[in-house]
A = this chain, B = another copy of it.
Amino acid sequence: MTAKLATAKSLIDAANPLDPAMLAHLPPRERILIASRELFYQQGIHPVGVEAIAEAALTNKMTLYRHFKSKDELIVAHCTQLAAEGDAVWDRINEASPNDPEKRLTAWVNHVEDVVTNRFERGCALANAAVELQPHHPARAVIEAYKARKRDQLVKLFRAAHYKKPEMTADEVFLLFEGARISIQCGGKQMALRVVKMLRDLLANAPRKTPADKR
């Protein structure tokens, strides 16, 4: 489990992502995106000004505006980055056991456990962004595409694992996870932690296709 955590951590952020020593050798665009992720996640999108982002990224407003032609575009890039990271986690889980859907399911639940246990005290950054951004904001499309992709990937996984109703099961699992993360924001940290047991029960008890397949 320690290994698992280290793996996941290294995928997303190593230690303190705003540590000047970490940022110093990165190109400005990277620094800006890292700073955005951190500040947007901690404080939300609206309350964070471009100046604060530039400062946290060890640069200045002008450089920020050379790389992103507006704050809105930065927000889009920020959401795109988050989505790509989420996809990367999924890909890593899949590639680890390409021929064993059971293991992939287990690995995903372990990832969920990591997420609700150790990180993301403010829930899902993309869901939060969707809440803050107006419906017509271009970043919304990025978020919606990501969420739809996640659900479809779960469907495929449950189908590969010969679940009888892959769509239904995927929806259930997806909504439980989403609900757990939004509940973190609403004080339900304890409830979010219980979601892991729910998911394990659900995976164990949901009906499979045929006994033959199980063997």
Contacts and interface: CB of A to CB of B under 8 A. Distances in A.
Interface of A: 43-44, 46-47, 122-123, 126-128, 130-132, 134-135, 140, 143-145, 147-148, 151, 168, 171-172, 174-180, 182-183, 185-188, 191, 194-195, 197-198
B187 A176 contact: no
Interface centre among A43, A140, A176 (most CB of B within 10 A): A176
Contacts of A197: 168
Contacts of A147: 183, 186-188
Contacts of A131: 44, 123, 127-128, 131-132, 182, 185
Q: For chain A, what secondary structure do more than half of its interface residues adopt (helix, strand, loop), or is it mixed?
A: helix
Given A132-B44, A168-B198, A180 B175 contact: yes
A46 B43 contact: no
Contacts of A185: 127, 130-131
A67 to B, nearest CB: 15
Given A128-B131, A182-B182, A144 B187 contact: yes
A125 to B, nearest CB: 10
B191 A151 contact: yes
B172 A182 contact: no
Contact of A178 (B130, B174, B183): B183
Given A168-B194, A168-B198, 16 more contacts: A44-B132, A47-B134, A127-B186, A131-B182, A143-B186, A143-B187, A144-B186, A145-B187, A147-B188, A148-B188, A171-B191, A172-B198, A175-B176, A175-B195, A176-B176, A178-B186
A213 B191 CA distance: 28
Given A147-B186, A182-B182, A132 B46 contact: yes
